[in-house]
């Protein structure tokens, strides 16, 4: 990936794109790219030479703790070094401020810029588009480390691995050059607005409508539960553009709407059960005039773009769910080994020992499946059904683990000052967003009983997210 820790490797396509960036954009992009590249290059001297055998990497079931660095066969020593830097970033730049952000209902913009400076944003976006150009596993370990520090506030993963891919995959050259480098640098925060008060998993319920007016579009409607919505600088808006379409799948388009555009207003930050530091907002669009250049991709193709990108979103959710399970387990293990009752630690009680054994086994089984999904997606082989399995299983497991771990904390687990209480509250939304787990089962079942699927309503099946 890099030739020297003193120079940023830019491939020929990225170099061509860089020439069109403004000086300011070029500088912030290069700083982000260099931070990532320097970290990854430091391990070159440890690369396995031809004929040598790579060092054994234990799975998490064999490691001292479920969060040990240097485990899991899908990762390399290069990833280990990067993980150390990512872990350090979260411990130094996120953990000390998270309680403050929970009270404010949003994180600071400064932490976004710092993440960009460290090369933690846009890792899986191509260099030639202004991203870092790293591999999926490097992006995944950032998601994991955020969960390992129990800090759900920063919406880095949605910004980098959900919003940015839509722009890099379907955007025009001008859109890519305008947004991606700034998003990689943490200077432009992205959000995606699908959900409406009357439409979640059912696309037939989408009411937000964009009407053609000459070469422009006039956008009207509202969205709700939008992560990064309050702080967003650009929002990908899902809107109906053809009300006469045979099915909802044929009449949906995506638009890029900048914060500050006339008629675009952000409602209040929503007060939630969990994810206290993550800004979640309502968005309102009243006669918002958008130029033709605001259309993302082709008109009426939005549903297909959503279908293409949702497996990665669901994989992301499953990875973070498993990492949260690992954090909760280790937090609980430490607690029961210190907490005393009946003249001994509660870890000495057989019922507690058996519960920990059950939890660890379930987590390690889940980890094996999620890692296999990461490997598949790295090879661009992950299908929608398998991604749905990962999302459904991992988030259900996360809630079971949260319940059992809080129970082992007793009354103290119900106190907000204890990390397990926050993890418990945060876990509840996981089976809901990214497509409810009931919808995941519906999607999985289509590959099991295809004849039954064909007999169902065409409109119903074509409208599911």
C-alpha of 210 from chain center: 28
Q: Which residues have a Cβ under 8 Å from the Cβ of 313 and sit 6 or more positions away?
A: 161, 162, 434
Rounded distance, CA 185 to CA 121, Å?
7
Rounded distance, CA 267 to CA 131, Å?
31
Considering only CA atoms, which of 86, 2, 83, 81 is closest in space to residue 41?
2
317-to-143, 240, 374, 392, 449 alpha-carbon distances in Å:
9, 27, 12, 9, 26
Considering only CA atoms, which of 35, 26, 180 is closest in space to residue 114?
35
> Regarding beta strands 264-269 and 234-240, do their DSSP bridges make them parallel or antiparallel, or are they unpaired?
unpaired
Q: Which of 93, 313, 326, 331 is catalytic?
A: 313
Considering only CA atoms, which of 465, 458, 464, 443 is closest in space to residue 246?
458
**Overall size of the chain counted in residues:** 465
Is residue 313 part of the annotated active site? The answer reads: yes
**210 half-sphere exposure, CB direction, 13 A CA radius:** 27
Angle between the N-to-C axes of helices 419-427 and 384-409, in degrees from 0 to 180, rounded to the nearest 10:
150
Name the residues annotated as catalytic: 313
């Amino acid at each position: 990936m890099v030739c020297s820790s003193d120079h940023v490797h830019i491939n020929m396509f990225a170099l061509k794109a860089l020439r069109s960036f403004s000086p300011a954009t070029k500088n912030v992009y290069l700083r982000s790219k260099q931070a990532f590249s320097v970290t990854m290059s430091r391990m070159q001297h440890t690369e396995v030479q031809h004929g040598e055998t790579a060092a054994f990497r234990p799975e998490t079931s064999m490691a001292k703790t479920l969060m040990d660095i240097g485990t899991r066969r899908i990762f390399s020593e290069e990833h280990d070094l990067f993980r150390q830097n990512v872990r350090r970033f979260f411990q130094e730049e996120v953990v000390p401020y998270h309680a403050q952000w929970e009270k404010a209902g949003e994180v600071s913009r400064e932490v976004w810029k710092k993440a960009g400076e460290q090369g933690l944003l846009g890792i899986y976006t191509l260099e030639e588009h202004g991203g870092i150009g790293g591999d999926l596993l490097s992006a995944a370990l950032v998601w994991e480390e955020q969960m390992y520090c129990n800090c759900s506030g920063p919406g880095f993963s949605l910004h980098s691995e959900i919003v940015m891919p839509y722009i890099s995959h379907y955007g025009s050259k001008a859109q890519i050059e305008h947004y991606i480098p700034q998003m990689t640098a943490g200077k432009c925060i992205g959000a995606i607005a699908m959900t409406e008060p009357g439409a979640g998993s059912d696309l037939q319920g989408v009411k937000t409508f964009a009407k053609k007016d000459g070469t422009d579009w006039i956008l009207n409607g509202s969205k709700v539960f939008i992560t990064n919505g309050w702080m967003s600088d650009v929002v990908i808006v899902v809107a109906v553009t053809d009300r006469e379409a045979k099915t909802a799948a044929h009449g949906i388009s995506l638009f890029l709407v900048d914060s500050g555009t006339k008629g675009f207003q952000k409602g209040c930050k929503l007060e939630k059960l969990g994810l206290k530091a993550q800004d979640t907002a309502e968005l309102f669009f009243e006669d918002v005039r958008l130029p033709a250049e605001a259309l993302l991709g082709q008109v009426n193709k939005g549903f297909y773009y959503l279908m293409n990108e949702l497996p990665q979103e669901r994989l992301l959710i499953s990875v973070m769910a498993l990492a949260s399970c690992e954090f909760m387990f280790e937090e609980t293990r430490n607690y029961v080994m210190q907490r005393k009752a009946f003249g001994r630690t509660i870890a000495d009680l057989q019922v507690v020992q058996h519960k920990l054994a059950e939890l660890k086994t379930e987590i390690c089984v889940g980890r094996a499946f999620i890692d296999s999904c990461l490997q598949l997606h790295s090879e661009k082989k992950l299908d929608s059904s398998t991604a749905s399995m990962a999302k459904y299983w991992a988030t259900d497991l996360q809630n079971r683990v949260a319940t059992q771990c809080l129970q082992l904390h007793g009354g103290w687990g119900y106190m907000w000052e204890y990390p397990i209480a926050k993890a418990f509250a945060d876990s509840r939304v996981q089976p809901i967003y990214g497509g409810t787990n009931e919808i995941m089962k519906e999607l999985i079942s289509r590959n099991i009983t295809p004849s039954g699927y064909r007999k169902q309503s065409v409109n119903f099946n074509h409208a599911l997210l």
